[in-house]
Amino acid sequence: MAELKKVSGEWRKPGEGFTDGGRLAQAVATNQVKAERNPNNRRAASLICSLREAGKSWREIVRELNGSGFQAPRGGEFSSIQVRRIYSRNFEVEGDQRMLGE
């Protein structure tokens, strides 16, 4: 029976931080603060807003960001969903139907 518990993982108990969600919430908050303080993220957010207000599609904005040397938070290229999220976090305008498409 003891061998079965080792194989199936039943003998393990989760740590306190993972059962009450406290550490996860703290980690999310820390990441948000880091993102807000990052000057590269602020410049990218500003460019995203200005391009979106100029009527650019999400794909056009992605091409502009990646072509200008901006890097996504983990160091790679931006994707359209990342750009949409940055825009919605920082500049979402109520009734902006362009958010739904493109």
**23 in any annotated domain:** no
Higher pLDDT, 42 or 92: 42
**13 in any annotated domain:** no
**12 in any annotated domain:** no
**10 in any annotated domain:** no
Contact present, 84 and 99 (Cβ < 8 Å): yes
Question: How big is the CA angle at 58 (ends 69 and 62), to the nearest 5 degrees?
Answer: 15
Contact present, 19 and 58 (Cβ < 8 Å): no
**21 in any annotated domain:** no
What mean pLDDT do residues 13-20 have? 60
What mean pLDDT do residues 52-58 have? 95
**67 in any annotated domain:** yes
Alpha-carbon span 56 to 33, nearest angstrom: 28
| Domain count within the chain | 1
What mean pLDDT do residues 89-94 have? 68
Q: Which domain holds residue 81?
A: 36-92
Summary mean pLDDT of the chain = 78
Alpha-carbon span 95 to 56, nearest angstrom: 17
98 pLDDT exceeds 80? no
The reported pTM is 0.61
CB atoms within 10 A of CB 82: 19
At residue 36, the pLDDT reads 75
**30 in any annotated domain:** no
